[in-house]
Structure 1
Amino acid sequence: MIENMLDELPPDRRRQLTDIAVEVSLPRATRLFEEGRRADRFWIIRSGQVVLDQRVPGRRAAVVETLGRGELLGWSWLFPPYLWHLGAETVGPVEAVEFDARAIRELCESDPVLGRAMYRYVAKTVADRLHGTRTRLLDLYGPQGSGLDP
């Protein structure tokens, strides 16, 4: 949860982030962001699930991942040009902590300790998701008998 994001920070820096955080309740089927649009916020999911999807020309958007409790929703806000790489929609009701991306980026720039911790947290999230994607691709397309099936 937000605690995971704050684990490596001293208390005064934790306070800086929690002062910016806003608790939000999102109803089912809320579209949070669209691929290619401006990434101006991010969330830590407290409860519920959000699907990440990608546009497929001539078809419905394909769900590429489902996020749940304690997970970071959105990392595009941290890297220029600050555009979403995917879309996101709530599956059911979601409780989350929302952060203003610009405010967090400004804090990261002005405070190297906070900035390093945020970049590390987002980088770990991206690396974990990349690993999960690779595993799913191997499950789908890997050679039979590769030992990847449970």
Structure 2
Amino acid sequence: MTAGTRLLRAIPPEFRERMLTLAREVSFPQDARVFEERGNADRFWVIRSGAVTLDLRLSESRSVTVETLGPGDLLGWSWMFPPYEWDFGAEALSPVRAYEFDGAEIREECDHDPRLGYALIRAVAEVLAQRLHAARSRLIDS
């Protein structure tokens, strides 16, 4: 595991090692669309290097950046909850290397071992709470 994988460090070592056996290393070139809003959310990533922007389409020709993610950040959480559709779009701001996880496979692992499921839900909930706090702070500051 490389430095900067906060989500994976938040999970107890026994589960982290098991999850990493299910990961595959992927890369995205700069400007590549990783996923589109309302698309099928069937996977997630932990960014190892590079940066990804989350965006929201306001119209056909206009979108707004919601957040920029970097090394160690979780990219994608919609794979956890039905209807398994992305709430945002994502684009590589620079070349990106990441661990990719199959959402259905991880959900199945969590079903088989509720301790893993609890650890993962807790780690993802912490990420979501931090992002909500950051979004709230940005709104107050603007």
TM-score for both structures, normalised by structure 2:
0.92
3-state SS of paired residue (1:109): helix
If you compute each CA radius of gyration, which structure gives the higher value, 1 or 2?
1
Mapped partners of 1:7, 1:63: distance in 2: 27
Unaligned stretches of 5+ residues in structure 2: none
How many residue pairs get matched?
A: 139
**Would you say 1:9 and 2:12 are equivalent positions?**
yes
Report runs of 4+ in structure 1 exceeding 6 Å deviation: none
Shift of residue 61 of structure 1? 1.3
Shift of residue 24 of structure 1? 1.1
Mapped partners of 1:117, 1:102: distance in 2: 17
Mapped partners of 2:16, 2:132: distance in 1: 28
Post-superposition CA distance 1:17-70 (Å, at most 9, x none): 111111112111111111111101100011110000001125421111100011
The one-letter code of the counterpart of 2:42 is D
Unaligned stretches of 5+ residues in structure 1: 141-150
Mapped partners of 2:29, 2:51: distance in 1: 11
Between the aligned residues of both structures, percent identity stands at 51
Matches within 5 A, 1:55-66: 55-66=57-68
The answer for the alignment partner of 1:143 in structure 2 is: none
User: Which one of the candidate residues 8, 21, 24 is aligned to 2:23?
Assistant: 21
Please provide the CA RMSD for this pair: 1.4
3-state SS of paired residue (1:65): strand
The answer for the alignment partner of 1:109 in structure 2 is: 111
TM-score for both structures, normalised by structure 1:
0.87
